[in-house]
Amino acid sequence: MKSVQYKYRPEYLTISEPNKYKAENLQSEEMILNLGPQHPSTHGVLRLEVVTDGEIVVDVIPHLGYLHRCFEKHAQSLPFNQTIPYVDRMDYLGAMNSEHAWVMGIEKMLGIDKEIPKRVEYIRVLVAELNRIASHFIAIGTYALDIGAYTPFLWLFRDREHIMRLLEWTTGARMLYNYIWVGGLFYDLPVGFEERCQSLIEYLKPKLVELQQLVIENHIFINRTANVAVLPLPVAINYGCTGPVLRGSGLRWDLRKVDGYSVYPEIDFDIPIGKGEAGKVGDCWDRNNVRVLECFESIRIIEQCLEKLNKEHKRTKEFDPQAVVPKKIRPPKMDFYTRAESTKGELGFFFRTDGRSDVPVRVKARACSFNNLSVLPEIARGGMIADLIAAIGSIDIVMGEVDR
């Protein structure tokens, strides 16, 4: 049997699709590559439509919505306190920070934010910073895994497990805590928490230095991430990037300092920024370096909180963590926007209430991962496909928050 020799005939294409395929417009080099939604290095169900020219990324189009869970509609049909478990599920790696943002907004709307006991505020900051370290550990660990290092992933999960167990013991759940309530807390800290937290800090400090040596100063890691996916500061500001992505580009912008909410003004800490020590300012290395340095700052904050909780705001028998919890949460008619520094950047909630019902008329969540993800085509364009993977990991997205 004679084999049929197929031959490319441009006139066939022009006959079938005369407007789309002009023979002179056809490019044989470009290829559309679908990355995801089940690709492990996309950090969840993110689908990327990548237009490639050989190994070069010409364009990236993120497709979202695989994890859409109607958070805003849920929040518009439930009382404010019942939405707290759903806020946890937005950014499930830094649930305590999301809760903190949500609860602070409602307290300000009700006008009880000045009546919250100082001990409650310190506990909130303490658990939020513990969760921030855990979230950054996941970010750095999976990032190292993305670009080919397996050991940091396992070591960081081992260290994160200690934080998870501490929070589990305190709050009753591993990741989705429902611990911070409007006007207080679910429980007070258990007896012995201070000692256990202190020993955890003593454990984590050398581990963080070890992490710096293992990942950040690693020669292979630097070669892989320096000068890759450089995000200039004007682009970062234009796209609304916040958190370590913006700070990696060299702007000292942290809502914990800028807004000074909760008890952060009473606590002494620095904001690490990317200085371009390995390559240009705003490359993947800078963003990860900022995360590691932030872990050190979080430990400083935790130490100061523990000192306050041990001395000025000691546990007493009379202390009730639910003393100012309102019986009925019904804010007056208003539009309100609240924001806080989540683990990934500025997490904001917009409320519109009518003053007559317990449920808000409209809730909009300004998710930091969503805005950070929007800058991905800008930084991945023109690089290699392998660098695209490095770029996705370095902006640290959580798809639960992107799709909400």
Residues forming contacts to another protein in the complex (CB under 8 A) are: 78, 81-86, 89, 158, 161, 165, 168-173, 176, 178, 186-188, 190-192, 212-213, 216-217, 222, 277-278, 315, 317, 320, 322
Strands 346-353 and 362-366: antiparallel
Which residues have C-beta within 8 Å of that of residue 18, sequence separation ≥ 6?
none
Work out how close the CB of 214 gets to another protein at its nearest, in angstroms, rounded to a whole number: 11
> How far is the C-alpha of 232 from the C-alpha of 278, rounded, in Å?
15
Which pairs with CB-CB distance under 8 Å and at least 24 residues apart come from 195-202?
196/166, 196/169, 197/126, 197/130, 197/166, 197/302, 197/306, 198/306, 200/162, 200/163, 200/166, 201/299, 201/302, 201/303, 201/306
Work out how close the CB of 266 gets to another protein at its nearest, in angstroms, rounded to a whole number: 26
Cross-strand partners of 84: none
Residue 152 in contact with residue 159, Cβ under 8 Å? no
* Nearer residue to another protein within complex by CB, 110 or 216: 216
* Nearer residue to another protein within complex by CB, 12 or 169: 169
Going by the DSSP 8-state scheme, the letter that residue 114 receives in this structure is T
> How far is the C-alpha of 300 from the C-alpha of 295, rounded, in Å?
9
Work out how close the CB of 29 gets to another protein at its nearest, in angstroms, rounded to a whole number: 36
Work out how close the CB of 118 gets to another protein at its nearest, in angstroms, rounded to a whole number: 19
Work out how close the CB of 284 gets to another protein at its nearest, in angstroms, rounded to a whole number: 15
- Decide: helix, strand or coil at residue 52: strand
* Nearer residue to another protein within complex by CB, 72 or 320: 320
Which residues have C-beta within 8 Å of that of residue 40, sequence separation ≥ 6?
none
* Nearer residue to another protein within complex by CB, 76 or 374: 76
Question: What's at 222, amino acid-wise?
Answer: I
* Nearer residue to another protein within complex by CB, 48 or 214: 214
Work out how close the CB of 115 gets to another protein at its nearest, in angstroms, rounded to a whole number: 20
* Nearer residue to another protein within complex by CB, 72 or 161: 161
Work out how close the CB of 270 gets to another protein at its nearest, in angstroms, rounded to a whole number: 17
Give CA torsion, residues 25, 31, 36, 38, to 10 deg.
Answer: 130
- Number of neighbouring beta carbons within 10 Å of residue 350: 17
* Nearer residue to another protein within complex by CB, 192 or 234: 192
